[in-house]
Amino acid sequence: MPDATHPQSPRPAGWNQAFAALPQEAPPARAWQTLSARLDARHARRARRWPAWLALAAALALVALLPLRHGGDRPANGATATRAAPVATVPRQQAPADARDAPVAAAQVAAANAPSRPAPADATSTPPSAAPADRVAKASPKPARQQPRATLAGPATEVARLDAAQDNAAATLQPLYAESARLEALLSLARDDRVASASAAVVADALDAQVASIDATLADPALDDARRLQLWRDRVEALRQAAGFEGTQRLLASQGHGDALLASVD
């Protein structure tokens, strides 16, 4: 008999009364802490998010000021360029050296913006995931290529012919050096390792690895000029892709798109 089964509870008059008599339930004890943490995370994420107009203005300013920055950096970086690229001390190489200094200057910008990246001991030990700055500073092909040239011995005409050929090659490479430096500077400014989604980090690492692989090949002093030119073109193209990718990520983040916003907090 049902009433005998539940002697202490009066039979409800209706379903509404039965439902209303159900006890309230308590949420998990840490529910507030979880909610508070989510609020903090959201607040931090919003604080990091650039407004779209600010991101656009920053990008335009970057494009406008980057050439000036490179032009102004060259004289001040002479000592560093000498240290990083011994060939710059050769007087006859002064004109090409300006272009070759540019990647070194970019390397300094990148190094200043990515202090946590470990510097490899030498060019051959550069890891694939090392920053472009490190790769340029440590694995730049210019010193390896120019070192044998300083000790080159032979008839004067042969030396002159080789010099002319190398000058032509340097003149061809000069725009690529400059473009590479510009892209590396842009990349170092656009990249923000604090806020990156997993997929974006994978793509960025893949592009970094591609550039590192090119740098490792460029470090070979036995490369001929044609191959070297092609590698520098590949390097510029890879950097262009990386810079474009990072710029897109920042733009998406400024517009609040989820994948670009994923950070360690979530």
Please say which residue, 21 or 95, places its beta carbon nearer to other proteins. 21
Name the nearest CA neighbour of 111 among 180, 7, 18, 188.
188
Q: Total residues at the site for other proteins (CB under 8 A)?
A: 32
Does position 20 interact with other proteins (CB under 8 A)? The reply is: yes
Does position 44 interact with other proteins (CB under 8 A)? The reply is: no
H helices of the chain, in order, are 2-5, 15-20, 31-48, 52-76, 78-84, 94-113, 132-139, 141-150, 156-190, 198-218, 225-254, 258-261
Please say which residue, 13 or 68, places its beta carbon nearer to other proteins. 13
Instruction: Specify the residue for token string 């907090």.
Output: 265
Does position 11 interact with other proteins (CB under 8 A)? The reply is: yes
> Which letter does DSSP use for residue 260 in this model?
H
Does position 9 interact with other proteins (CB under 8 A)? The reply is: yes
Are 119 and 136 in contact by the 8 Å Cβ rule? The answer is: no
Does position 29 interact with other proteins (CB under 8 A)? The reply is: no
Instruction: Specify the residue for token string 């990249």.
Output: 191
State the nearest-atom distance from the C-beta of 29 to other proteins, in Å. Answer: 11
Are 232 and 218 in contact by the 8 Å Cβ rule? The answer is: yes
Q: Choose one: 14-22, 59-67, 150-158, 234-242; the region binding other proteins (CB under 8 A).
A: 14-22
State the nearest-atom distance from the C-beta of 1 to other proteins, in Å. Answer: 9
Binding footprint of other proteins on the chain (CB under 8 A) = 2-3, 5-6, 9-28, 31-32, 34-36, 38-39, 42
